[in-house]
């Protein structure tokens, strides 16, 4: 999503996670052993950017007219604060509600309900903070996105978080659900969902539905 906002054409290489050979594959392409990792070929060799916020900033420095950050300096500062907080916080939400764009919860008897998932340590507190951020952004800029009608990297950072509440059927306050709906209906998120649907057909929907 960042590369699309930054106007950079990229070749995507997928690495499936949670497989025995996943860790060595990840370490081979990323010093942190995590994704995303952007490899940029240049005169001095290949430069590796292994952090999503660093990738966004590099893209913006490459072309400050791109859609990574708002052109207005006040909006840009606000969007950077939002993106940085999402980037460095909310691990409890990520771990408690693992991302899966295809799955819908519950899908069979015996799985924990979304009520139990929201009761996992830190999930409710993290959700409350995100809802406060969405309300503040709407109060300042009117929506539908973080700084109004401009979809920027702050929205890209939030999009995977928003998707979790759809996956697990969690009903938040109406204004929060409106923000989540806008994020999920954004062009880049619809494109991501379409790619996920194609990958689900490729690897098998039974496998996708069983993980995580």
Q: Kindly state the average pLDDT of the residues 114-139.
A: 95
Q: How far apart are CA 145 and CA 188, in angstroms?
A: 13
Where in the sequence of the chain do the CATH 1.20.1050 domains occur? 73-192
Q: Kindly state the average pLDDT of the residues 10-27.
A: 90
Class of the CATH domain delimited by 73-192:
mainly alpha
pLDDT at 30: 95
Q: What are the b/e assignments for 163-200, b being 16+ CB within 10 Å?
A: bbbbbbebebeeebeebbebbbebebbeebbeebeeeb
pLDDT digits (tens, 9 = 90+) for 27-74: 999 999 999 999 999 888 899 999 999 999 999 999 999 999 999 999
pLDDT digits (tens, 9 = 90+) for 172-207: 999 999 999 999 999 999 999 999 999 899 888 888
Residues in the chain: 212
Q: How far apart are CA 7 and CA 9, in angstroms?
A: 6
The fold adopted by the segment(s) 2-65 is Glutaredoxin (3.40.30)
pLDDT at 202: 87
């Amino acid at each position: 999503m960042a590369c699309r906002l930054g106007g950079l054409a990229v070749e995507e290489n997928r690495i499936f996670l949670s497989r025995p050979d996943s860790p060595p594959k990840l370490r081979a392409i990323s010093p942190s052993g995590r994704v995303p990792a952007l490899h940029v070929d240049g005169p001095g060799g290949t430069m590796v950017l292994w952090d999503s916020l660093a990738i966004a900033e590099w893209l913006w420095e490459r072309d400050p007219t791109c859609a990574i950050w708002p052109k207005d300096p006040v909006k840009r500062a606000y969007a950077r604060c939002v993106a940085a907080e999402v980037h460095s916080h909310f691990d409890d939400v990520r771990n408690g509600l693992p991302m899966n764009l295809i799955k819908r919860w519950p899908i069979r008897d015996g799985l924990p309900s979304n009520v139990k998932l929201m009761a996992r340590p830190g999930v409710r507190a993290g959700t409350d903070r995100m809802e406060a951020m969405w309300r503040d952004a709407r109060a300042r800029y009117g929506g539908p996105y973080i700084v109004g009608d401009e979809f920027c990297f702050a929205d890209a950072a939030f999009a995977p978080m928003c998707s979790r509440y759809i996956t697990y059927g969690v009903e938040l306050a109406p204004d929060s659900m409106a923000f989540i709906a806008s994020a999920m209906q954004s062009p880049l998120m619809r494109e991501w969902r379409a790619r996920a649907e194609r990958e689900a057909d490729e690897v098998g929907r039974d496998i996708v539905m069983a993980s995580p």
